[in-house]
Amino acid sequence: MQTVDRKLIDAAIRDQFPILATKVHGKPLTYLDNAATSQKPRFVIDALDRYWTGQNSNVHRGVHYLSQLATLEFDNARESVRRLLGAAEADEVVFTKGCTEGINLVASGLVHGSGDLRLGAGDAILVSTQEHHSNIVPWQLAAERTGARVIPIPITDDGEIQLDAYLDLLKTARPKLVAVKHVCNALGTINPIKWMIEQAHAYGALVLIDGAQAGPHLRINVQDLDADFYTLSCHKIYAPTGVGVLYGKRPLLESLPPYQGGGDMIRTVSFEGTTYAGIPAKFEAGTPNIAGAIGLGKSVEWLEQLGGGSLDSAFSAIEAHEAALRSEAEAILAAIPGVRIVGTARDKAGIVSFTMESAHPHDIGTILDSEGIAIRAGHHCCMPLMTRFGIPATARASFALYNTMEEVERLESAVRKVQEMFA
């Protein structure tokens, strides 16, 4: 591999993403907003086209050809996600609209559940100060409805979870649940979630992992992690928007009440009462996002093909490539006068957040856009995190497997232009 021209490898991958040939303001598109959503490879786009033009039908119970064909593709996608997550069985994979719905599903289940799976007055829910709003607000709503308490886990100046403080909170608060992200979308910090899960379980707490940012960057194995719940936002993993995943251990999913009522989640219905289908159907009321799920399955297949049939190989290459891009970007941006890198954890994914003394992040984003460079500017749905660092927002460049060192150099040139304009 080391003897092959890196530019040829980059080109071979980039050629699979049609949108990357786009010109923005007359300049080549440099897409560095992958933490918000990734671009889609032709392999996935073609699969969606085949579905809409030759397979479109509702899934399950249909006896005609198109329904059987769509059902087969839909069920194959669930098995593909099982492989992606390293789950024990496909029935532990629930299709959702996204990571946010998966978290809300679990929160609702704990509000309306029974026994050990029911939140009550005084119960503690630990969430880290890194969390996306979608892993804070559902727990606040659950707390309002049950009398539970949401307790933040503090972080360091580097953007890492304070592990000593976490242990102290486990000991003193004895939480019912720990909800924490695998990778911080605003900083790129990779949290030691396997250790955190182990510690939480030692104190009897359930653990939900927000894997929205881990999915595109890291090889995940929910069995090895021993996660109780794990969510994915799949439009970040080269799949369509509007599709996500909730993984849950079978006994937990079987014990949680349904999230919504409707078709396909029932076994029998009468006016005397209703019995529910088994998992995962119990949590998938109504017509699902069939095309989205099929596209997700194809994105997993595409990743496997990149790794020569191995997701392990694919993600090993992805991690190494993105780490090189992030390291170079951090080094060259930090050398620009007035630039501050926000989030300097020892273990990071391909995300670089920064501020400039002379320019607001929105001004940075606007000027970079004029150079054809797409980044994200704002609080990244992490307002408590921004408050922790005493800033309103950051500019964020986030990398994917199709980004190149040449694009990192374009980023540097554009940020220097911002510095010159606002100096």
Exposure string (b/e) for 172-198, b if CB count within 10 Å is 16 or more?
ebebbbbbbbbbbbbbbbbbebeebbe
Six token digits for residue 24: 């923005």
CA atoms within 13 Å, Cβ hemisphere of 78: 23
The DSSP secondary-structure symbol of 289 reads -
| Phi-psi category of residue 262: left, alpha or beta, with phi > 0 → left and psi -120 to 50 → alpha | left
The Cα–Cα gap between 271 and 361 comes to 57
**Beta carbons of 115 and 90 less than 8 angstroms apart:** no
Please enumerate in sequence order all residues whose Cβ is within 8 A of that of 88, keeping only pairs 6 or more positions apart, or say none: 223, 250
Q: CA of 355: how far to CAs of 188, 322, 333, 360, 377, in Å?
A: 15, 21, 10, 8, 10
Residues 334/412, Cβ–Cβ less than 8 Å: no
- Which helix (H) or strand (E) segment holds residue 125: the answer is strand 124-128
Distance CA 30, CA 404 (A): 9
CA 232/CA 219 separation, integer angstroms: 13
Identified catalytic residue from 99, 184, 234, 381: 381
CB atoms within 10 A of CB 254: 12
Q: Strands (DSSP E) along 333-389, which ranges?
A: 339-342, 351-356, 373-374, 376-378
Residue 381 annotated as catalytic: yes
Helices (H), 226-270: 250-255
Q: Are 212 and 232 in contact (CB under 8 A)?
A: yes
- The candidate with the shortest Cα–Cα distance to 41, out of 60, 8, 13, is 13
Q: What DSSP state is assigned to residue 249? A: -
Which residues fall within 8 angstroms of residue 258, CB to CB, at 6 or more apart? 265, 276, 282, 283, 285
- Give me the active site residues, please: 381
